[in-house]
Amino acid sequence: NFMLTQPHSVSESPGKTVTISCTRSSGSIASNYVQWYQQRPGSSPTTVIYEDNQRPSGVPDRFSGSIDSSSNSASLTISGLKTEDEADYYCQSYDSSNQRVFGGGTKLTVL
């Protein structure tokens, strides 16, 4: 199995832009789609990005996803930060044996 490594926490001020990385330990990040989930305290995760860079309806375009093959990583970028964006964010992908893997999660603080 592979691992997805995320920073434990990030913080930024309202109105600014923050990027959360997700690095795949083995296998190409570009070979399997990456999803990003937002989880607020006491709630179930919800999708903010699927298929590397697609936003579900209802997710503001302040949220964007990308893939960087050179660093074998995916990134979630949130621009124009709002206090309501404060949450835990998880990346998730899979491999050719149909194993699904989550990153360890990143706590975003908007201060």
* Residue 33 touches another protein, criterion: CB under 8 A: yes
Q: Of 45, 40, 59, nearest to 100 (Cα)?
A: 45
**What's the CA gap between 42 and 13, in Å, rounded?**
24
* Residue 57 touches another protein, criterion: CB under 8 A: no
* Residue 45 touches another protein, criterion: CB under 8 A: yes
* Residue 21 touches another protein, criterion: CB under 8 A: no
Q: How far is the CB of 10 from another protein (least distance, A)?
A: 16
Sole binder of another protein in the list 13, 17, 46, 71 (CB under 8 A): 46
- CB-nearer residue toward another protein: 41 or 70: 41
CA dihedral of 76, 81, 82, 87, whole degrees rounded to 10? 30
Q: Of 53, 101, 103, nearest to 77 (Cα)?
A: 53
**What's the CA gap between 22 and 4, in Å, rounded?**
6
Contact residues: another protein, CB under 8 A? 1, 32-33, 35, 37, 44-47, 50-51, 56, 90, 92-94, 97-105
